[in-house]
């Protein structure tokens, strides 16, 4: 898209300018301009000036679309409106329709919340266990194990999902084959993708598998900072491994756990590809949809961008609420201030 | 030293300028430029195994004649609808786009497409069922380019080995499938896929049901849960559930999975598109001469209607290049390049007369499809909302619910009919 050309242009030009005009003029002007700002004002403006590029990017790429989604959620917006560019406000009608839809309460919300709950707990517990294992390893072994763990993290969600679908293939998957040869499964097999619990079981495996390395590495970094004498003191007092973890490690690492839990929660609430790509995960009205997939099906399947946006806003509000609750529970009141 | 210092000074503004320049350059591609701009064309990916060579030839012929350059972009089918919607939102639409028959009504209705009716001299040249998909009143928003039809592809060598004949009605089809299932234990005789709605529709039609029909007062009524629709659904799903000629995993199969099953010699016969034999032979040349095809037999003889899909070429309105775009559409849908496309892909041209020559073909992998297309084919209901029925996968959900044992045929068809009516009637 012309970016390489543009960049090399930018790199080439200053040199040309530099050789001719600028050096002679720039220096004296700089000395004159300096007193325009007092030291204090400058100190106050400096952070904003340094933040400005990042804020501009965030504003353009994040805040604007976010605002637009909120705006869309109050409108009757279909494909036709996309072409004409005009639309009508419907107030809270989109939200009313959604909240009055039994499908939300019966399928979508339980799927989203239930799955996130299980997946977050599993991810954090598994990640912590792996971190504890890593902390006892010698440096070389640790590098090897960490590299292996990283492979799971580096796997793109789409390819990872297809691998899990393939593992659980109803006819020829390794799971079906093994269960059949063990005599636990009849020759006709069983379509686990049609069963809500099994379906989300596979999704959980997939998401935990790709999510635990982040927790493991972050917690490991935290573990390195726990003073060794605390552990030694606890050991002398006769504390076992569990009590040492719970009474020594955990309190010290509480901020770390807060971060990994909140991040995992956010990721697991809005999981999309891992569900959408599964067999049956893209069927509107099926038992398998979560809020993220529902928003997508509503927007792009039904071309009903207003309702789709309303689902997305609901998901965001839900996430905000859960995050606040978490932070409250993990930190004591005074620590928050 | 001094040079480096000035370097950092001038760097930022210049970089900003460069960024601004590239940003406007990006915008110019889709904007209303002069006619000398290249024509941007979106074509669905993967229809033609040798699509690059085809478009090289077609485009250079077009450029030679008109002096306009053409840029073809290949879009994956699965992405197409979103990509077009977002392009409309972002005002970055191409000049010409290939649209599948099932989603052209929605885009035509949206007002994004350019009316071609004044350019088309004789609409009766085209396959009418396809042309109708892009028609609203007497405005025409798409020109039929190629038609896709599904019949049954079978392993002629295995039929011969086990003394089976091409079935002439549903009962014979069942007997054949059961016999082959017993004779070839390691193979699936006739996969009954769950995620392939166009393999389900024929049975609803064949039983005597309609997906949806419009009453004089304008409301839509779905006939999926009529006696005929249920008879068709019972027959098709019964092949899997009662006769066991399918496999449990087929519940999750789409048409690609079905094709792979044939190509990997895991299935004996299956409902397949006219382009499938080519693709199968490409991935497994050993099957050369061992494949055949027959039109889907009728309930009591004759044929069962099959879904005729395919693609139309449409022109986007408001690009400033509508006339050139139409020239290009006429160029691709004209005899030379539409027939070449058909020969390379295994689909049929969008012109009625050209299909007739295929129906007289001696090729056993071409003729049955052409016969099916001419004698027993149907489209989906012509209404902008039908695309939503497909996007919500109503038919797929019905089929999977029955195959998974989550619903009886009565329950599933009733639910599907309600859903279709709810979506088409817009509430």
- ipTM of this complex prediction, to 2 decimal places: 0.75
Specify whether B168 is located in the same domain as B280.
yes
Domain count, chain B: 2
- Chain A contact set for B25 (CB, 8 A): 1-2
Q: What span, in angstroms and rounded, lies between the C-alpha atoms of A4 and A186?
A: 59
Does residue B23 belong to any structural domain of this protein?
Answer: no
Rounded-to-10 torsion of CA B250, B254, B256, B257? -20
Specify whether B301 is located in the same domain as B318.
no
The reported pTM is 0.79
Residue B122 belongs to domain spanning: 39-148+308-359
Specify whether B245 is located in the same domain as B314.
no
Q: Which tokens go with B171?
A: 């009962």
Q: What span, in angstroms and rounded, lies between the C-alpha atoms of A76 and B213?
A: 27
pLDDT, greater one: A70 or A284 = A70
Specify whether B168 is located in the same domain as B299.
yes
pLDDT band (50, 70, 90) for residue B410:
very high
What is residue B180's predicted lDDT score, i.e. its pLDDT? Answer: 96
Q: What span, in angstroms and rounded, lies between the C-alpha atoms of A207 and A108?
A: 18
What is residue B130's predicted lDDT score, i.e. its pLDDT? Answer: 87
Does residue B17 belong to any structural domain of this protein?
Answer: no
Nearest CA in chain B to A23: B6
Specify whether B255 is located in the same domain as B187.
yes
Q: What span, in angstroms and rounded, lies between the C-alpha atoms of B55 and B42?
A: 12
The predicted-structure confidence for B384-404, as pLDDT tens digits, reads as follows 889 889 888 899 999 999 999
Does residue B46 belong to any structural domain of this protein?
Answer: yes
Does residue B142 belong to any structural domain of this protein?
Answer: yes
Q: State the pairing for strand pair A75-76/A88-89.
A: antiparallel
Residue B19 C-alpha from the chain's centroid: 41
Give kind and range of the element (H or E) at residue A331: none
A300 touching B (Cβ < 8 Å): yes
Nearest CA in chain A to B92: A83
Q: How far is A64 from chain B (nearest CA, A)?
A: 14
Interchain contact, B9 vs A26, CB within 8 Å: yes
User: Is the Cβ–Cβ distance between B113 and B314 less than 8 Å?
Assistant: yes
Q: What span, in angstroms and rounded, lies between the C-alpha atoms of A156 and B41?
A: 31
Nearest to B2 among A9, A23, A193 (CB): A23
- Give the torsion sign (CA, A323, A329, A332, A334): positive
pLDDT band (50, 70, 90) for residue B261:
very high
- For residue B281, the domain's CATH number is 3.40.190.10
Q: Which tokens go with B122?
A: 């004789």
Q: What span, in angstroms and rounded, lies between the C-alpha atoms of B194 and A282?
A: 13
pLDDT band (50, 70, 90) for residue B35:
very low
Does residue B9 belong to any structural domain of this protein?
Answer: no
C-alpha dist (Å) from residue A328 to A113, A114, A262, A315, B166: 19, 21, 11, 20, 71
What is residue B166's predicted lDDT score, i.e. its pLDDT? Answer: 95
Q: What span, in angstroms and rounded, lies between the C-alpha atoms of B38 and B59?
A: 11
Specify whether B141 is located in the same domain as B250.
no
Specify whether B172 is located in the same domain as B264.
yes
Specify whether B165 is located in the same domain as B228.
yes
Cross-strand bridge partners of residue A56: none
Per-residue pLDDT, averaged over B335-362, amounts to: 86
The predicted-structure confidence for B108-155, as pLDDT tens digits, reads as follows 988 899 999 999 988 888 888 889 888 888 899 999 999 999 999 999
Q: What span, in angstroms and rounded, lies between the C-alpha atoms of B79 and B77?
A: 5
Specify whether B280 is located in the same domain as B192.
yes
The predicted-structure confidence for B68-91, as pLDDT tens digits, reads as follows 999 999 998 878 888 998 999 888
Alpha helical stretches, state H, B264-321: 276-283
User: Is the Cβ–Cβ distance between A330 and A261 less than 8 Å?
Assistant: yes
C-alpha dist (Å) from residue A37 to A29, A32, A53, B415: 14, 11, 21, 72
Nearest to A83 among B21, B88, B252 (CB): B88
Specify whether B211 is located in the same domain as B345.
no
Does residue B410 belong to any structural domain of this protein?
Answer: yes
Interchain contact, A170 vs B249, CB within 8 Å: yes
- Which of A289, A259, A295 lies closest to A274, judged by CA? A289
The predicted-structure confidence for B153-206, as pLDDT tens digits, reads as follows 999 999 999 999 999 999 999 999 999 999 999 999 999 999 999 999 999 999
Q: What is the mean pLDDT of chain A?
A: 84
User: Is the Cβ–Cβ distance between B420 and B386 less than 8 Å?
Assistant: no
Specify whether B95 is located in the same domain as B53.
yes
Judged against a pLDDT cut of 60, whether residue B3 lies above it is answered with: no
Specify whether B114 is located in the same domain as B240.
no
Chain A / chain B CB contacts < 8 angstroms: 138
pLDDT band (50, 70, 90) for residue A332:
low
The predicted-structure confidence for B45-75, as pLDDT tens digits, reads as follows 878 878 899 999 999 999 999 999 999 999 9
Does residue B319 belong to any structural domain of this protein?
Answer: yes
Q: What span, in angstroms and rounded, lies between the C-alpha atoms of B126 and B352?
A: 5
Classify A143 as helix, strand or coil: helix
A176 burial level (CB within 10 Å; 0-12, 13-18, 19+): buried
Does residue B6 belong to any structural domain of this protein?
Answer: no
pLDDT band (50, 70, 90) for residue A252:
confident
B116 burial level (CB within 10 Å; 0-12, 13-18, 19+): buried
What is residue A32's predicted lDDT score, i.e. its pLDDT? Answer: 52
pLDDT band (50, 70, 90) for residue A2:
very low
Q: Is A192 left (phi over 0), alpha (psi -120 to 50) or beta?
A: alpha
- Which of A157, A164, A118 lies closest to A264, judged by CA? A118
């Amino acid at each position: 898209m012309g970016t390489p050309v543009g960049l090399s242009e930018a790199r080439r030009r200053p040199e040309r300018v530099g050789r001719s005009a600028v050096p002679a003029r720039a220096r004296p002007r700089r000395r004159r301009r300096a007193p325009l700002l007092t030291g204090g004002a400058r100190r106050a403006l400096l952070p904003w000036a340094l933040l400005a590029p990042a804020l501009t990017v965030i504003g353009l790429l994040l805040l604007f679309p976010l605002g637009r989604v909120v705006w869309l959620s109050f409108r009757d917006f279909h494909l036709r409106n996309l072409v004409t560019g005009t639309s009508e406000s419907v107030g809270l009608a989109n939200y009313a329709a959604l909240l009055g839809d039994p499908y939300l309460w019966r399928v979508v919300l339980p799927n989203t919340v239930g799955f996130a709950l299980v997946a977050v707990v599993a991810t954090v517990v598994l990640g912590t266990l792996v971190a504890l294992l890593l902390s006892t390893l010698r440096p070389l072994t640790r590098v090897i194990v960490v590299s292996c763990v990283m492979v799971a993290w580096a796997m793109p969600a789409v390819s990872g999902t297809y691998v899990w679908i393939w593992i659980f293939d109803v006819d020829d998957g390794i799971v079906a084959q093994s269960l059949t040869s063990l005599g636990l499964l009849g020759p006709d097999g069983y379509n686990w993708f049609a069963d809500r619990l099994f379906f989300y079981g596979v999704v959980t495996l997939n998401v935990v598998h790709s999510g635990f390395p982040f927790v493991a590495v972050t917690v490991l970094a935290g573990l390195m900072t726990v003073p060794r004498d605390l552990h030694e003191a606890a050991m002398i007092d006769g504390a076992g491994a569990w009590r040492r973890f719970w009474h020594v490690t955990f309190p010290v690492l509480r901020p770390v756990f807060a971060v990994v839990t909140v991040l995992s929660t956010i990721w697991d609430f809005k999981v999309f590809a891992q569900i959408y790509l599964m067999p049956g995960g893209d069927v509107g009205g099926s038992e398998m949809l979560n809020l993220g997939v529902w928003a997508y099906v509503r927007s792009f399947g039904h071309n009903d961008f207003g309702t789709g946006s309303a689902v997305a806003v609901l998901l965001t509000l839900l996430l905000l609420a859960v995050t606040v609750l978490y932070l409250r529970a993990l930190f004591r009141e005074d620590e928050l201030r | 030293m001094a040079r480096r210092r000035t370097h950092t000074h001038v760097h930022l503004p210049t970089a900003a300028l460069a960024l601004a320049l590239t940003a406007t350059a990006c915008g110019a591609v889709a904007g209303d430029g002069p006619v000398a701009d290249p024509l941007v064309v979106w074509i669905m990916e993967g229809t033609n195994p040798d699509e690059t060579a085809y478009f090289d030839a077609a485009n250079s012929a077009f450029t030679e004649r008109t002096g306009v350059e053409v840029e073809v972009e290949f879009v994956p089918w699965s992405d197409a609808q979103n990509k077009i919607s977002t392009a409309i939102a972002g005002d970055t639409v191409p000049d010409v786009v290939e649209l599948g028959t099932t989603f052209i009504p929605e885009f035509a209705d949206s007002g994004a497409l350019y009316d071609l009716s004044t350019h088309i001299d004789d609409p009766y040249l085209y396959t009418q069922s396809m042309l109708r998909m892009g028609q609203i009143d007497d405005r025409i928003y798409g020109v039929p380019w190629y038609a896709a039809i599904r019949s049954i592809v079978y392993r002629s060598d295995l039929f011969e080995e086990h003394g089976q004949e091409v079935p002439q009605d549903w009962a014979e089809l069942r007997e054949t499938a059961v016999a082959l299932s017993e004779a070839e234990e390691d193979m699936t005789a006739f996969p009954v896929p769950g995620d392939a709605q166009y393999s389900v529709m024929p049975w609803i039609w064949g039983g005597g049901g309609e997906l949806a029909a419009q009453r004089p007062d304008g409301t839509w009524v779905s006939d999926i849960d009529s006696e005929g629709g249920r008879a068709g659904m019972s027959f098709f799903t019964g092949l899997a559930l009662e006769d066991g000629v399918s496999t449990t995993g087929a519940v999750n199969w789409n048409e690609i999975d079905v094709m792979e099953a044939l190509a990997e010699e895991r299935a004996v016969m299956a409902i397949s598109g006219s382009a499938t034999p080519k693709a199968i032979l490409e991935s497994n040349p050993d099957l050369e001469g061992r494949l055949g095809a027959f039109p889907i037999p009728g309930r009591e003889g004759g044929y069962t209607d099959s879904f005729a899909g395919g693609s139309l070429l449409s022109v986007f309105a408001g690009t400033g290049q509508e006339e050139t775009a139409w020239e290009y559409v006429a160029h691709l849908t004209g005899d030379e390049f539409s027939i070449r496309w058909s020969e390379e892909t295994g689909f049929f041209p969008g012109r009625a007369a050209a299909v007739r020559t295929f129906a007289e073909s001696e090729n056993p992998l071409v003729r049955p499809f052409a016969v099916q297309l001419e004698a027993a084919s149907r489209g989906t209901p012509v209404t902008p909302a039908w695309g939503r029925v497909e996007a919500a996968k109503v038919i797929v959900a019905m089929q999977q619910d029955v195959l998974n044992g989550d619903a009886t045929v009565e329950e599933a068809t009733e639910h599907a009919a309600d859903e279709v009516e709810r979506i088409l009637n817009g509430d």
